[in-house]
Amino acid sequence: MRGLTAEGEQAAADVFARGSSAVTPRIRPTPYWIALCRSPPDLSRRNMATGSNEEKEASKACPQSSYVKNPHLDSMKEDILYHFNLGTATHDLPAMFGDVKFVCIGGSPWRMKSFIEFISAELQLGDPKADIPNLCAGTDRYSMYKAGPVLSVSHGMGIPSIAIMLHELIKLLHHAHCSDVTILRIGTSGGIGLSPGTVVITKQAVDATFLPQFEQIILGKKVLRSTDLDEKLSEELLQCSRELNEFDTVIGNTMCTLDFYEGQARLDGAFCLYSEEEKQSYLAEAYAAGVRNIEMESSAFAAMCKLSGLQGAVVCVTLLDRRKGDQVTNSHDILNDYQMRPQKLVGHYIRKRLNVPCVASQSTDAFGSCSM
């Protein structure tokens, strides 16, 4: 059966795209993260999960973008975001999420809880020791935390898990009338030709044959979607890494595979019917194609960002050089340090975008980076 190209699918999707006009009621000065408002923010932790009344009013004043491409949603009386345990009839989604400007996602619930605590301190959002509630506490599928304009969500492992999460996340942003949202995946990966601990900002997500596409079967037909990511955002993140000057960071292609073992040319799985030489030859081909790291979510992430119009980036640290081995053998402390690197980079980017000054115990260098 003949498949749909990315261009053809986008043209079809544009038929259903719905614009929305801005509403501009008279309101008080709004927090700094609402549509680049310039008034001093109230950074207390009050109403962190639901947003203050001021933030609710401001979200109505901002132009609203529709990230969904689904005409059927308009005819639904209620939309249940099943895996989040949220819904349009049971929750006031605009009040809870209307001020969101940054969504950071990662595989591990623990990592995303750690990130929201980190970014809360970076943005000086109240007591850093205060507990931040899980907004998806009614389900064990995903976890979700909110601090001011930042939403932190776990996506599990692999393409099916992140795709389910992104469908419901994109609908959540739509129902909450969010606009100008940037979404960033932070995580871990296996490197190719890089020292462990190097951070890779994804230029393109490629499949296991090194093609920049995401293949999906819809109604029995093969659909190919583009996996290009926002080049300007990638360059901004690279500049943030230069400003931090704490670890090596590169822009390169990320190979997204369907599994952790054979799909990534590992020799240590339950099944392996190829040789060390064949493995090395395959990884050399990947490196020549611009691949600098391997993981299992980036192609679905990139394709869904492009289709929805969300500005997105993938920022992953490499835990090992796959040319030199398959198993992660570094100590717990070293791995923790590595896993904090994407968080530090993305945290610096968000703080810089929001123009949040350093805390009293830190100083600002020539690049605007905080240091002790």
- Cβ count within 10 A of residue 131: 8
Evaluate if residue 365 carries a pLDDT over 80: no
pLDDT at 33: 44
Mean pLDDT of the residues in the chain: 85
Write the pLDDT tens digit of every residue in 90-149. Answer: 999 999 999 999 999 999 999 999 999 999 999 999 777 789 999 998 899 999 999 999
Q: Is 368 inside any structural domain? A: no
Rounded to an integer, what distance in angstroms lies between the CA atom of residue 350 and that of residue 6? 31
Q: What is the pTM of this model?
A: 0.81
pLDDT at 5: 53
Which residue has 């992104």 as its token pair?
Answer: 166
Q: What is the CATH number of the domain that holds 162?
A: 3.40.50.1580
Asked if residues 37 and 29 have their Cβ atoms less than 8 Å apart, the reply is: yes
- Report the range of poorest mean pLDDT among 3-7, 45-49, 336-340: 45-49
Q: What is the mean pLDDT of residues 309-322?
A: 98
pLDDT at 35: 38
Query: 192: number of CA atoms within 13 Å, CB side?
Result: 25
Choice between 364 and 302, residue whose per-residue pLDDT is larger? 302
pLDDT at 129: 78
Cα–Cα–Cα angle for 307, 312, 314, rounded to 5 degrees: 120
Structural domain total, the chain: 1
pLDDT grade for 6, boundaries at 50, 70 and 90:
low
Cα–Cα–Cα angle for 136, 141, 147, rounded to 5 degrees: 35
Rounded to an integer, what distance in angstroms lies between the CA atom of residue 111 and that of residue 75? 37
Q: What is the mean pLDDT of residues 186-205?
A: 98
Choice between 43 and 219, residue whose per-residue pLDDT is larger? 219
Q: Is 281 helix (H, G, I), strand (E, B) or coil?
A: helix
Q: Is 367 inside any structural domain? A: no
Q: Is 20 inside any structural domain? A: yes
pLDDT grade for 362, boundaries at 50, 70 and 90:
low
User: Which residues span the domain enclosing 301?
Assistant: 6-357
Q: Is 370 inside any structural domain? A: no
Write the pLDDT tens digit of every residue in 45-99. Answer: 333 344 444 434 434 444 445 899 999 998 999 999 999 999 999 999 999 999 9
Rounded to an integer, what distance in angstroms lies between the CA atom of residue 237 and that of residue 252? 13
Rounded to an integer, what distance in angstroms lies between the CA atom of residue 296 and that of residue 215? 14
Rounded to an integer, what distance in angstroms lies between the CA atom of residue 296 and that of residue 311? 20
Q: Is 106 inside any structural domain? A: yes
Q: Is 209 inside any structural domain? A: yes
Evaluate if residue 4 carries a pLDDT over 90: no
Structure tokens at 319: 């835990």
Structure tokens at 347: 């945290």
pLDDT at 26: 33
Q: Is 365 inside any structural domain? A: no
Q: What is the mean pLDDT of residues 212-230?
A: 97
Q: Is 366 inside any structural domain? A: no
